[in-house]
Structure 1
Amino acid sequence: MRYRVRHITEYSYGAPVSLCYNMAHLLPRDTRNQRCLHQKVQINPPPVYQNDGEDYFGNQTFYFSIQEAHKKLVIDVTTDFEITPLNVLEWASQHTLNCGQLRAQLNAPNTPELRMAKEYLLDSPQIHRSEDLKDYATSTFADDKPVLQAALAFTHKIFTEFTFDPASTTVATPLEQVLKQRSGVCQDFAHLAIGCLRSVGIPARYMSGYLETLPPPGQEKLVGADASHAWFAVFIPELGWVEFDPTNDIMPNDQHIVTAWGRDYSDVTPLQGVIFEGGGSQQLAVSVDVKRV
């Protein structure tokens, strides 16, 4: 399947910004089943400096600086790529490594992959292990439960017990509050799952990207109707990192487009940087369009 993703980010400022430095995670990366074919980045006003790079996690980044006064910043990124479906249902039915066996392997890691996975057992800036998170997940990830089946069950547990409510949280809402109020958005559900998994000794990482959304039958798809999305992945030896989407109760396959991954959202923020002046206020508008080509 081939896709084209167009992501437009627009900042409007209360007063002119005289200088800005930025780093963006807006270019989908290559994965075992995803390959980028072409990408184009347009920035207005044109930057005086721009450079592509790669962060610690292997995500594509680009840096740019604008050194002329501007009240609006527009970043327009278009990427073409193809995705090959994975046999995720076959994995779910055949893989039998249980949670106790995985924890034992992590306690005595004998491969580079296991040693690297242990990094995703630690706390990160926005995800901290806790007894409350551990209590919520312990029974699902008991020693005798197959890891993949347990992760599927936990994905379903979040999907059925939590309500999608964009008004209930912000990017800074603590996980304990999300757990208590049983509501949030995809980022909250991904963070919650990761925090719970790490609290019971299972490595988990944050996945950022896009999800193709299909219009109701007989209706045209609206440009900009797709959105940035978040889900999580669990490390399972022999399979590697296996992805789960608790917002939609599925294992991502050929409709999830990976932009970046890290320990949590703070590692893969779509755009971060520093501005000088700007009047102390700004408005953000984001449009995402995912199209099959």
Structure 2
Amino acid sequence: MLLRILHRTIYNYQGSVNMAQHMVHLTPVNTGSQTLLEHTLRISPEPAARNQTVDAYGNLRTFFSLQSPHETLMVEADSLVETSVPLPLPDGPEWEALSWEQVREHFRYRAKAPYDPACEFLFASPYVPRDDAFTAFARPAFKPDLPVLEAVRALMERIYNDLTYESESTEVNTPALEALEQGKGVCQDFAHIMLGCLRSLGLPALYVSGYLLTLPPPGKPRLVGADGSHAWVSLYLPLPPDDTVADSEAAFEPRGTWFDFDPTNNRCGWGSPGEDYVTLATGRDFGDVSPMRGVIQGGAQHTLDVGVTVAPPEELGALLKA
């Protein structure tokens, strides 16, 4: 599937901003289920300096600085991505025998155990603390000896069924525990809650930011800027040692794969929850992959307008010309 994503952010400041520095995560990454074909990042006013780097999690990020007074800032990311149909829940004895307790034990400390980089996603992060409330919510889904994928899918379904999606019920910085307590939130909250649940049981999982192709209401045309960013979760599945490797040390090197779960829409898949998803960046939580953040000098208050459109390229091109 070919998808074009137009993500436009406009700041209107009350008073002039004299200097500013910003970091954006607005470039989709290449994964096993998607390929970035084209990408343009337009910034107005023109930055005095800009550069693109890869962060610690493999995401593409762009830093830019503005060194002259301005009252408006526009950042527009225009991307063309080719996605593929994700693989379903895997079959086979290697996966059927992998219980959630085995995944937990894989990451339990053992002397001289090989280092697995996925262990970084076991710990608390700024938006996802460790708390018994997450454990209590997750426990009903994690029956003894249950296959890990089955258990995590049950947790995803519980979040989908028991919590209410309600826009504007939370803010960007609303704690995940508060969203869990009130029983409602948005995709960011549901992703953070699921992360808290999985990590509380010793299962490593990361936060995924991206986009989802949505359909306009029946009989209504698609509107430019009417979509939004999306968020979901990816679970790490360790694989057993590879006894076919000749090198004895390489045979015991950790290896594994990531499996995606979207608790907002109750969908999951290997590589992504669906062909209609686009992965932007991954990290411990929203703070690692915020689409845009920065510091400014001046501009005491501002208004923010964010518009996202996800559509087949021909359809979006026609909408922009209309």
* TM-score tier (shorter): over 0.9
Aligned to 2:71: 71
Is residue 259 from structure 1 mapped to residue 251 from structure 2 by the alignment? no
Is residue 208 from structure 1 mapped to residue 227 from structure 2 by the alignment? no
1:240 aligns with one of 257, 270, 287: 257
Aligned to 2:46: 46
Shift of 1:246: 0.7
CA contact (8 A) 1:88 1:253 kept: no
Superposed CA offset, 1:46-68 (max 9, x none):
00101111111010000111111
Determine the C-alpha separation between the residues in 1 that align with 2:51 and 2:267: 36
CA contact (8 A) 1:15 1:71 kept: yes
Determine the C-alpha separation between the residues in 1 that align with 2:308 and 2:266: 22
Across the aligned residues of Structure 1 and Structure 2, the Cα RMSD in angstroms comes to: 1.8
Against the structure 1 CA distance between its residues 151 and 141, is the aligned structure 2 distance closer, same or farther, given a 3 Å change threshold?
same
SS in 1 for 2:211: strand
- The amino acid of 1:264's aligned partner reads D
Determine the C-alpha separation between the residues in 2 that align with 1:67 and 1:51: 15
Q: Which runs of 4+ in 1 moved over 6 A?
A: none
Determine the C-alpha separation between the residues in 2 that align with 1:92 and 1:288: 40
- The amino acid of 2:120's aligned partner reads E
SS in 1 for 2:195: helix
- The amino acid of 1:202's aligned partner reads L
Superposed CA offset, 1:35-88 (max 9, x none):
111111110000010111111101000011111111100001101111111212
Q: Percent identity?
A: 39
Aligned to 2:246: none
Aligned to 2:303: 283
CA contact (8 A) 2:81 2:278 kept: no
Range with bigger deviation, 67-76 or 160-169: 160-169
- The amino acid of 1:187's aligned partner reads Q
Question: Where in structure 2 are the equivalents of 1:145-164 lying within 5 Å?
Answer: 145-164=146-165
- The amino acid of 1:141's aligned partner reads F
Determine the C-alpha separation between the residues in 2 that align with 1:263 and 1:129: 13
Shift of 1:171: 1.9
Shift of 1:25: 0.3
Shift of 1:219: 3.4
TM-score computed with the length of structure 1 as normaliser: 0.94
TM-score computed with the length of structure 2 as normaliser: 0.86
Give the unaligned 5+ runs of structure 1.
Answer: none
- The amino acid of 2:52's aligned partner reads D
Range with bigger deviation, 131-140 or 155-164: 131-140
Determine the C-alpha separation between the residues in 2 that align with 1:234 and 1:90: 14
Superposed CA offset, 1:174-195 (max 9, x none):
2222121100111000000000
Shift of 1:216: 3.5
Determine the C-alpha separation between the residues in 1 that align with 2:175 and 2:8: 29
CA contact (8 A) 2:213 2:277 kept: yes
CA contact (8 A) 1:141 1:200 kept: no
Superposed CA offset, 1:193-241 (max 9, x none):
0001100111111000111101244432211122101111111124611
Determine the C-alpha separation between the residues in 2 that align with 1:45 and 1:135: 50
Determine the C-alpha separation between the residues in 2 that align with 1:103 and 1:94: 16
Is residue 223 from structure 1 mapped to residue 224 from structure 2 by the alignment? yes
CA contact (8 A) 2:104 2:201 kept: no
CA contact (8 A) 1:121 1:198 kept: yes
Determine the C-alpha separation between the residues in 2 that align with 1:244 and 1:57: 19
- The amino acid of 2:283's aligned partner reads G
SS in 2 for 1:38: strand
Determine the C-alpha separation between the residues in 2 that align with 1:92 and 1:226: 38
Against the structure 1 CA distance between its residues 85 and 92, is the aligned structure 2 distance closer, same or farther, given a 3 Å change threshold?
farther
Determine the C-alpha separation between the residues in 2 that align with 1:100 and 1:185: 30
Against the structure 1 CA distance between its residues 253 and 9, is the aligned structure 2 distance closer, same or farther, given a 3 Å change threshold?
same
